[in-house]
Amino acid sequence: MIPTITKKYQNVVISTGNIITTELGQRKSNEELYDGLKITLHTDSTAERVAVEKEIDELHGRVQRATQELTTRLTENGRNEISIGAKIFLNRHSTECVKQAVEELLHILSVTHVDNVVLAYHPNAVATATPVATTKPPCSEDSTVSRATNWSQRNGKEGVAELKELYQTLEQYALKQQITQLGIADLDAATLEELHNSAQVAPTIAQVNLSTCCVVPPELQEFCTAHDIQLNTHSDPELLLPVEQFDGLVPGYTIDWTLRYQVHVRCRGVLTAKGYIVGASRSSV
């Protein structure tokens, strides 16, 4: 389904444009991403509207949808009147992927800085075979403790060292004032504290996944309160799009990183734009 641009490039970048303007609406992040990519990569020449909205940048290996509409949403209010937040989903250790994700975000949105970027790093993520249950299991102390220690147990000291390197890459953009606030997702309290103590630019946002429980670990809540860290909840899966699903859309390519951005009007808190940017590379076979 992907345009012929991918036949010429080892690496490609795919931007879904503002998915709020489509029928996707507010759905689960993995569904939004998959359907957003399907719309962007659609090659039916009879679908005039889709063809007009899609742009192919042959020079840089980009496929973008509805760039003009996205520009309109970003410029209809002054830059100081909107808040731009982003979340990077990464499943392998690569500082270059972090750099590319941030650079593409700034380029595609045509901005000099964004208000916050949250990093979700899950090197040992496993694809979920079935959708997340809509009914949460009963909370218990055991389940809370299990979730609180999950990240450090699964990724170990090597994972923490890798996370620090990735975070340091984001810090360079914060030091250049291209990112105002940095955040991190799904860490237990001990790992968050270790990252916080070693950081040049301390994280001011922490996200915790409550899709399978309903209690924020008390020690995590206490640490965030003591260090003025905004604690938010989310329900994003660790692996947004399994390899086989992406291969069905873009045969021969694998996802290197995924980024989701959201644009809010500050005074009203209205979500005016939301989209996904994906970096992919040709499989080395």
**What is the rounded distance in angstroms from the CA atom of residue 160 to the CA atom of residue 124?**
12
**Which tokens in the block code for residue 227?**
């260090």
Q: What is the CATH number of domain 11-44+54-122+149-282?
A: 3.20.20
**Residue 179: beta bridge partners?**
114
Q: What is the pTM of this model?
A: 0.89
Hey, where are the domains in the chain? 11-44+54-122+149-282
Torsion of CA 12, 56, 73, 50, to 10 degrees: -110
Taking only the tens of pLDDT, the chain with its 285 residues reads 677 666 678 899 999 999 987 766 567 899 999 999 998 987 554 444 444 477 888 877 889 888 888 999 999 999 999 999 999 999 999 999 999 999 999 999 999 999 999 999 999 886 654 443 334 445 544 444 444 447 888 899 999 999 999 999 999 999 999 999 999 999 999 999 999 999 999 999 999 998 755 788 999 999 999 999 999 999 999 999 999 999 999 988 999 999 999 999 998 889 999 999 999 998 765
